[in-house]
Amino acid sequence: MVRPVQGPTPYELVAGERRCRAARLVGLTELRAYVIELTDEEAKDARLAENIQRKNLTLFEEARALQLDVDRLGMQGTLERRHKSHAWLSKRLALLNLPQQAQRLVTEHISADLEVINRVKHVEKLDPKAAESLVNNLEATRGERRARTQVDAVLEAVKPKKPRAAKATETGAAPQEAANPAAAVGELAAGQDAQAFSVRLLDELYAALADQGQTADGVLEKMTPEVMKAAAQWLEDHAARAREADDMGRAVLAGLRAGTFAPTGAGAFTLAAFLHGGQTGQACELAQILRCVQ
């Protein structure tokens, strides 16, 4: 496809660059072409459309083309144009900010599986040396072993272990003392492990909402900014993982088996945040997740 232009060359190539290069390689001097009047903006759209539809487009090329769309049309405009979900777009744009070992999966043609790439990214965030060893192993065993199984095993080994939540009483009775999430801020300031603090805090929030009948707005009023920030960051971390997940059903089942998700306590908040991130592709708000669990 070409368009008429002013200048010494009467036409500008819009689509079909690879065909032109291939023709030159075999010595052709003429090619058929569609001549179409296009504005600069329309020509740019046509080039992007061709790149997105190319079957051998690399993941990085696709992500860069989508980012150009987002820069010009915004997120919503890009979604409408591509007829895709927020989750689909977010996963692909995330490829533009991959750490070193996760990038190797693409640049060294080790894996084009977005689920594998995103999980390696999480491993690298937790343990860069483990990520390097994992990618080396994936490269050495390419085609011989399931990549997802290998990555899952390493991710399980490097992720911080979640302390077990206290078991409910056999009668299911509510605790004698009302949960007060704001009271825990001293422990956070004292440097308690952030994960243990977040789990305990969310357990207390669940008790306040589910067992004691407090409202989400009422609980929020009692929370200090530090505590709100800790809870919100924990939930957003899980929402972000969902936005990068390639298979939501599989990820939820894995979370249930690992004890990360649960129908009660901190696991209920984590599951709600994860589902919100996967379904909407957007950041979650603490108040929204509190109301969901309530």
Q: What is the pLDDT of residue 194?
A: 58
Q: Tell me what the pLDDT averaged over the chain comes to.
A: 78
- Using one digit for the tens of pLDDT, what is the confidence trace for 136-192? 998 888 766 688 888 888 888 887 765 554 444 444 444 444 445 544 434 443 444
- Using one digit for the tens of pLDDT, what is the confidence trace for 209-260? 776 777 877 777 777 777 788 788 878 888 888 877 777 888 888 888 877 8
- Using one digit for the tens of pLDDT, what is the confidence trace for 70-88? 888 888 888 887 787 777 7
Residue 24, pLDDT > 60, answer: yes
Please give the residue that has the higher pLDDT: either 194 or 84: 84
**Dihedral-angle region of residue 195 (phi above 0 means left; psi in -120 to 50 means alpha; beta otherwise):** alpha
Q: Classify 209 as helix, strand or coil.
A: helix
Among 126, 103, 127, 129, which Cα is nearest to 116's?
Answer: 103
> Do the domain assignments include residue 172?
no
For the residues 1-20, what does the mean pLDDT come to? 89
145 and 229 belong to one structural domain: no
Q: What is the pLDDT of residue 26?
A: 95
What does 114-132 look like in DSSP terms, one character per residue? HHHHHHHHHHHHH-HHHHH
Please give the residue that has the higher pLDDT: either 276 or 194: 276
> Do the domain assignments include residue 170?
no
185 and 286 belong to one structural domain: yes
17 and 66 belong to one structural domain: yes
Q: What are phi and psi of 37, to 5 degrees?
A: -75, 120
Domain count of the chain? 3
17 and 67 belong to one structural domain: yes
Helix ranges, the chain (H): 17-25, 40-53, 59-82, 86-93, 100-107, 114-126, 128-140, 147-158, 185-189, 194-206, 216-222, 225-244, 248-258, 265-280, 286-293
What sign results for the dihedral spanned by CA atoms 280, 285, 286, 291? negative
Cα–Cα distance for residue pair 90/95, rounded to 1 Å: 9
> Do the domain assignments include residue 13?
yes
237 and 199 belong to one structural domain: yes
Task: Quote the domain boundaries for residue 283.
Answer: 181-293
